[in-house]
A and B are shown apart, each in its own frame.
Chain A
């Protein structure tokens, strides 16, 4: 349970705990480049994160169907919500609307300073109309439609990895309007 006026460490603790419960992994910032390298040299990787190199350049693509073979996408998330682990991506971050869904695996990079306590604060921070599409992602794709058994990787990514970077900023906790 989040306190009413959470400290940055409490926000991060809640955020990690709730995402771990939805089968999301965490990788430290310094280990990201190596983590992506270890993913496999024969894999199709898309990255919009500086310092992480991909094998497919999004500028070379003209149709989202060409993303069908993407194994891993490394993208920024703009904001994270501590109470439920949801992370906001607008079209600016995902480039192609289909990308965070069609990729087999997804890595999201989020600034610690962009953690907010609840959905109420989140909707005050973002402009849902800023781009034509935006999404909160709170875990890898999942289903429990067969006898309530949890299965990860329904249609979207089979795994979600989150990288938190920087330090928690005080300006985030000024939640009064």
Chain B
């Protein structure tokens, strides 16, 4: 098993590419800043969004049951899935009943989390991801590296080569306009041939029993309005109490995600089309457990805008794949340790704890504070790597004893000046692998203070 640090090191080997990735993400973060500058009440909106979601998490059961009642009254079939396996069985069951062997699917991080594509393909159903970015990575056979921009890690030349091999575009063509047109033609055939469409859910409204899906491309709508069967998959935390709350969340979501004032399409689905069927699958898959963790429950307020990724100095310089989890970046790093502490615990350390993620979060999740809290849990559970555990044991011993601290400080200042480079910079010093230690001062602050201040007092 590799660690985040090791996977990040692989990503960092190509320095110009790392810089390009860093700048692409920062560009999106800057667009977000520009777009919220036009909303003087932005902070009030964030607080409202946060308060509504807090209320939702405290009354999740009631809102979900209200949603089910209203949706059922609208003619929607509501399904409940305890975990990923049950979710996949339910979706496949619906498809099987209708004899569907090809479906189109728009972006859904939940179905990524449940590995629905793999499950359906194993059961003989062709799955076509229709968001352009998702289709690109599906053709490459890799997971998304970002929740809003799944192919942000790829250069247009790589996509051009991929489309040449898979869709027959011209050799060497890499113009985004040309490549997008090729994907449009390719996917239009799939839309017209699909017998069922699957989407994710941005918001489910308890009051009206409908679901809302936000896209720019219009792919979710093309998929489900042309196919007789439509299926929407949502995590239990997607429910909001009332239709009027959409006013708050639609204003927060796109501005935080890409800096747009709103997504091009905000689609509200309340009933099946004439002669069609509409299904909503509500999935827990570990969310109830997270809800029970007092320190981490509010990570479930996330509306999946990706702003914390775009701003994160670690994400920007390590890439989404380095997180090895469906949701990468800061929010992924507080969601994933609860699913598998041994596997994902090191993600709590993939942060400088600078707090930028919490600052940009549209629903005010205290992401960096939760990263810090996960570190304590990882450490107590004994999952800390020995390169961290042993130095920290030493540091703990020294820092808790004043005399020893003074002595070790003095010894280090002398030793670091005398020691050959190979003794200081070696495989035991992970920190020094890509950094230089600061210049060693001749005296400590304490010594300086004693010398210059005490005598004058």
Contacts and interface: CB of A to CB of B under 8 A. Distances in A.
B130 A155 contact: yes
A123 B384 CA distance: 50
A147 interface: yes
Contacts of B272: 132
A154 B261 contact: no
A113 B268 CA distance: 24
B246 interface: yes
Contact of B38 (A1, A64, A98, A133): A1
B124 to A, nearest CB: 24
B74 A132 contact: yes
B261 A84 contact: yes
B28 A156 contact: no
Contacts of A18: 261
A134 B210 CA distance: 11
Contact of A65 (B130, B226, B264): B226
A137 interface: yes
What is the interface of chain B mostly: helix, strand, loop, or mixed? mixed
A154 B124 CA distance: 29
Interface in A113-133: 118-124, 128-129, 131-133
25 contacts: A22-B264, A83-B251, A101-B221, A119-B247, A123-B243, A124-B244, A128-B205, A128-B208, A133-B267, A133-B271, A135-B266, A135-B268, A137-B264, A139-B264, A141-B216, A142-B264, A143-B132, A144-B149, A145-B131, A146-B151, A146-B154, A146-B156, A147-B24, A153-B180, A155-B188
B265 interface: yes
Nearest to B271: A132
B262 A138 contact: yes
B262 A85 contact: yes
Name which of B222, B261, B264, B271 has the most chain A CB atoms within 10 A of its CB: B264
B269 A132 contact: yes
Contacts of A120: 244, 247-248, 251
Interface in B135-191: 136, 149-152, 154-156, 159, 176-177, 179-181, 184, 187-188, 191
A131 B40 CA distance: 34
B416 interface: no
Contacts of A136: 250, 262, 265-266
A97 interface: yes
What is the interface of chain A mostly: helix, strand, loop, or mixed? loop
Given A132-B74, A154-B217, A156-B265, A145 B149 contact: yes
Interface string B195-218: 000000000010011100000111
Interface size of B as a range = 35 or more
A123 to B, nearest CB: 4
Given A84-B261, A155-B188, A147 B156 contact: yes
Contact of B267 (A119, A135, A151): A135
B9 interface: no
Interface in B234-283: 243-244, 246-248, 250-251, 258, 260-273
Contact of B176 (A22, A64, A132, A147): A147
Nearest to A98: B225
A4 B27 CA distance: 30
Contact of A118 (B208, B222, B243, B247): B247
A86 interface: yes
Given A101-B222, A118-B251, A140-B264, A129 B151 contact: no
B289 to A, nearest CB: 32
B190 to A, nearest CB: 10
Interface in B384-421: none
A149 B151 CA distance: 12
B22 to A, nearest CB: 13
A148 interface: yes
B156 A129 contact: no
Contacts of B39: 1
Contacts of B263: 138
Contacts of B156: 146-147, 149
B219 A128 contact: no
Q: What 3 pairs across the A-B complex have the smallest Cβ distances?
A: A156-B218, A132-B271, A84-B261
Interface of A: 1, 18, 22, 64-65, 68, 81, 83-86, 96-98, 101-102, 118-124, 128-129, 131-149, 151, 153-157
Contacts of A118: 247, 251
B192 interface: yes
Given A81-B262, A146-B180, A147-B154, 7 more contacts: A122-B247, A129-B243, A132-B271, A141-B264, A142-B264, A153-B180, A155-B130
B251 to A, nearest CB: 5
Interface in B22-78: 24, 27-28, 38-40, 74-75
Contacts of A102: 222, 225-226
B133 interface: yes
A83 B262 CA distance: 9
Contacts of B149: 144-145, 148
B166 to A, nearest CB: 15
Contacts of A121: 247
A143 B187 CA distance: 14
Contact of A123 (B154, B218, B246, B265): B246
A154 B270 contact: no
A154 B185 CA distance: 10
Given A64-B225, A98-B226, A128-B268, A155 B219 contact: yes
Contact of A154 (B155, B216, B250, B273): B216
